[in-house]
A and B are shown apart, each in its own frame.
Chain A
Amino acid sequence: MTSVSEGTPEQVSRHQVSTVLHRRPRLRLGLLIGPPMLWLGVAYLGALGALFITSLWGQNPFTGDVVREWNLDNFRLLFESEVYRTITIRTLGIAALVTVVDIVIAFPVALYMAKVASPRMQRILVIAVLTPLWASYLVKAYAWRIMLSENGVISDLGGLLGLDTPGYGLTATVVTLAYLWLPFMILPIYAGLERLPDSMLEASMDLGAKTGHTLRRVVLPAVFPAVVAGSIFTFSLSLGDYITVKIVGGANQMLGNVVYDNVGAANNLPFAAAVATIPVVIMLVYLAAARRTGALENV
């Protein structure tokens, strides 16, 4: 396109820049990686750092103003009260269960989409799975509130199958969260399965392996990183949720509620920040484990 000898000055200078860039890959790398890192480093890591600092400060309990005195009181309170341990364990349990439920539901759906459905059907299914993402989170959560209520949709329709609603509580919370985050699990697994060449599966079959065996020995290991990638979404989204549990969780509370109550409500940012370090640490450990599977590049 751009001619080397003739051209407008702009084109010439662009060409020079291009040449410089071509000769100096390090410069090119710097220009590529600089802006995103600057953005994330300043806007995000900086914010997280400031938050952590705040957790080491105190608060004037009446006015809610942050008092800049260094201390570990917030963390001491966090570790010494049993209630925060209970809430942490409950939250972890919910997040883990939601993830497992989503994997169990998503895997067959994704497998069907990637390896059984016709290309046309595949497209339709992808859209079908994505559509609920556009209905607002809150609206879906309230829909589940009506589904799960006493004499609600589940007891009415499920009654025919002998099902009854679990009522508002932890089960309802797990069900609703699993519903909300399901697309985030189906999509990566589907993408992972799609990448898996059919020839590999056929080779396994040709070698006489049964379907079950092929699934276990070939498919599962190959999509494992994709599953882990999906689980980062479901796990972390559940870990920080405080709205769903308010809507269908009965009298229960999760870590997100404690953070929210302390910052949005009691205006105690230092203590909220201290509580917030719990999910952060959990997620960092989770990410460190996920990294070994190579899942981070599949999110």
Chain B
Amino acid sequence: MTHRKVRWHRIVAACAAVTLVAACGTESSDDKDSAGGAGFEAPDLPQLEEIGDGEGEVNILAWPGYVEDGSTDPAVDWVTPFEEATGCQVNVKTFGTSDEAVNLVKTGEYDVVSASGDASLRLIAAGDVEPVNTDLIPNYADVYPFLKDRDWNSVDGQMYGVPHGYGANLLMYRTDVVEPAPTSWSAVFEEDSPYAGKVTAYDSPIYIADAALYLMEHEPDLGIENPYALDEDQLAAAVDLLKQQRELISEYWSDYLKEVQAFTTGDSVIGTTWQVIANVAQGEDVPVEVVLPEEGATGWSDTWMVMTESEHKNCAYLWLNHIISPEANAGVSEYFGEAPSNPKACDLASEGHCETYHAGEEDYAEQIWYWTTPVEQCLDGREDVKCTDYGAWTQAWTEVKG
């Protein structure tokens, strides 16, 4: 018995020794000029002044469906023309959530990333991405003006990328079960929802903004001005609402397949969705409709950004220009299911595509609160209080799910 104890002690001691050695080698990145606790200040980084010859390669980090080279479906290919024209060989890695994207960016192995607004500011602040010289990107001039110089893609008028496409997180429902047709998010939030046990919601901390958006309209006393700028009390209120919603939830969804299946089988009958999911479901003859509820909606507007440490910056810029060209932008926005950022894409996309996604409709776009990373410095301009940051949202989200 004693003998055995001694042996285990030695194991522990050996582990400790190895641990110490490892510690000496582990690097942290605190030496970087990163945002301090007080808020958000973009590191001073230079932008590219001119484009040289392509480096022969570009490593892209993208949402699934953004970079298609025909390997999934020979008919879907806007990478090969780029490779042929520029000589830049495209390597792509996809990610499932914005947070995963941020994590992958940290590996320093990529040149460009398609970042949603809930990732872009984090990347800018960490110095992972650099300012983009839009003068070097001819197609940038065509992009819808209301997508330029926004909170999630620029700092002090300096663009950090090019807008790719955008869409709203809509409310989808089964027309045969949900009657009358909903006009408000209340059907997914209120305790007395007739669809308890059949509600679905998006599985990410950023979904807290959906609850905040609802409270903005229904609990004006809370004083929420921007669903991404919540002080502690406001966050607590949103969390309470989400905990109440948790009782109604059948499951949270994070990928399109899961949600389409759940609506097909009837495991879920109402909940937040993307337009493309509704399209797939309708294509499968599932009786579903989508609506932009009266409270408005959250949404995304993605930005192609260039990594600071990229070794293929010329190819990266060439890619940025290519992906917002009318041809590629039409292909992507149609394949992925979102509104294109370049109006000229609408001429090339199939009939009705831009109408379905309300491309260019400014009053529609204005009802959307695009995903933005919550930071300590309140995005709504309040200075007397600190807002909750994304870390706090993540903890809160774990708590909501329980």
Contact = CB atoms under 8 A, between A and B. Distances in A.
A175 interface: no
B99 interface: yes
A206 to B, nearest CB: 38
A46 B28 contact: no
Interface in A118-146: 142, 145-146
Given A63-B35, A261-B394, A57 B28 contact: yes
Given A53-B26, A168-B267, A266-B99, A64 B19 contact: no
B34 A250 contact: no
Nearest to A253: B401
B100 A266 contact: no
A215 interface: no
Nearest to A250: B251
A48 to B, nearest CB: 8
Interface string A138-158: 000010011001111000000
A86 B126 CA distance: 34
Nearest to B397: A261
Contacts of B205: 265-266
Interface stretch (A5-13, A65-73, A107-115, A224-232): A65-73
A86 B402 contact: yes
A196 to B, nearest CB: 28
B172 interface: no
Nearest to A84: B398
A260 to B, nearest CB: 9
Contacts, number: 150
Interface in B86-135: 97, 99-100, 102-103, 106, 121-122, 125-128
Interface stretch (B61-69, B156-164, B309-317, B385-393): B385-393
A262 B127 CA distance: 21
B301 to A, nearest CB: 20
Interface in A69-101: 77, 81, 83-84, 86-87
A59 B267 contact: no
A142 B35 CA distance: 42
A212 to B, nearest CB: 36
Nearest to A69: B30
B398 A258 contact: yes
Given A60-B34, A62-B375, A63-B122, A46 B18 contact: yes
B394 A41 contact: no
B23 A49 contact: yes
Contact of A46 (B21, B102, B204, B252): B21
A205 B106 CA distance: 66
A116 B397 CA distance: 53
B399 interface: yes
A221 interface: no
Interface residues of B, number: 60
A104 interface: no
Given A65-B28, A268-B391, A49 B19 contact: yes
B376 interface: yes
Interface residues of A, number: 53
B266 A61 contact: no
A61 B390 contact: yes
Which of A252, A264, A265 counts the most B-chain CB atoms under 10 A from its CB?
A265
A9 B68 CA distance: 59
B249 A251 contact: yes
A50 B265 contact: no
Nearest to B248: A251
Contacts of A64: 102-103, 106, 122, 126
A284 B250 CA distance: 35
B25 to A, nearest CB: 7
A203 interface: no
Given A62-B389, A263-B103, A81 B267 contact: no
Contact of A150 (B40, B246, B267, B402): B267
B22 interface: yes
Contacts of A168: 250-251, 267
A247 interface: yes
Contacts of B203: 246
Given A61-B391, A266-B205, A151 B15 contact: no
B29 interface: yes
B32 interface: yes
A83 B399 contact: yes
Contacts of B122: 62-64
Contacts of B350: none
Interface string B266-286: 110000000000000000000
A65 B126 contact: yes
A192 to B, nearest CB: 24
Given A65-B126, A81-B399, A264 B100 contact: yes
B30 to A, nearest CB: 5
A150 B376 contact: no
A176 interface: no
Contacts of A246: 203, 254, 258
A151 B132 CA distance: 52
A266 B394 contact: yes
Interface string B1-44: 00000001000000100111111011011101011010010000
B261 interface: yes
Nearest to B40: A62
Contacts of B341: none
A286 interface: no
21 contacts: A47-B22, A49-B15, A49-B19, A59-B391, A61-B390, A62-B121, A62-B125, A63-B122, A64-B103, A67-B30, A68-B28, A145-B261, A149-B265, A151-B265, A168-B250, A246-B258, A251-B401, A252-B401, A264-B99, A265-B204, A265-B394
Interface of A: 41, 45-50, 52-54, 57, 59-68, 77, 81, 83-84, 86-87, 142, 145-146, 149-152, 167-168, 246-247, 249-253, 258, 261-268, 288
Given A57-B28, A149-B265, A246-B258, 6 more contacts: A47-B22, A53-B19, A61-B392, A64-B103, A251-B246, A268-B391
